[in-house]
Amino acid sequence: MDNLHNLNLRLYWNSDLVEAIASHMQRKLKYLRITIEPTVPSPNLNRDYFAPILETIKTSSLEKFQLIEIPYRRMAEAYQHAMVEILKSNYTLETAYICSKSPYERRSQKSKKREIEYYTTLNQNGRALVGNPEAPLVEIVNNLAQAAQRSERVNSSWTSAIPVLYGLLREAPGKWIGSTLGADCDKPRRRTLKRKFSRFLERFWGA
């Protein structure tokens, strides 16, 4: 298991295996897909069963995570809620999908799925770079311009250009205040950055 980067499991309720997976995630696992077996014995079934894995996601380098065919809709909703809280401070996870076996979803479940998609989209568009206080501003502005271009092709209202750019800008508000803009580059480049940044602000915010 030490050399694995991808895991695709059909999992029975075995707490030792869950803890082993969580331990491996701390090292090098990039992709994890867990499908719940239909013949799950119910005594071990509770909302805390996958807590070790979800807790480890906070500090792991995992990029893709799927937990599917969860037997109970309320349990799936609890895990979706936990994932939203994790993604508020996790910059590496670019795909996260959690669903139950039931084809029916409550409105609250749909809302959590949208939030998960929003945060993972921010991660796909360089959230870690924008939130890095040591990152050169020229790299951040170029990243924002590229994120704007990618998001223009998205039909989803919560992952389109405006909410994605807004979410990225919120990661480092100090970068856009007064004299801090361009503080890490020379004056000619600073003027170029200001013009470039102003142009896409005018385009997306009407500034």
pLDDT in tens, the chain (207 residues): 444 577 777 766 555 667 777 776 666 778 888 887 765 555 555 667 778 888 888 878 889 999 887 877 888 888 899 999 999 999 999 999 998 877 777 777 888 888 999 999 999 999 999 988 888 888 888 898 888 888 777 666 767 778 888 888 888 776 665 444 445 555 666 566 556 655 655 554 443
Q: Is the dihedral of CA 168, 135, 194, 200 positive or negative?
A: negative
Confidence at residue 1, expressed as pLDDT on a 0 to 100 scale: 45
pLDDT, tens digit, 9 for 90 and up, residues 113-145: 889 999 999 999 999 999 888 888 888 888 988
Confidence at residue 198, expressed as pLDDT on a 0 to 100 scale: 58
Confidence at residue 122, expressed as pLDDT on a 0 to 100 scale: 94
Confidence at residue 200, expressed as pLDDT on a 0 to 100 scale: 54
- pTM value is 0.76
Distance of CA 205 to CAs 61, 152, 191, Å? 34, 14, 20
Confidence at residue 178, expressed as pLDDT on a 0 to 100 scale: 47
Dist. CA 83–CA 11, nearest whole Å? 20
Residue appearing with tokens 């500034």? 207
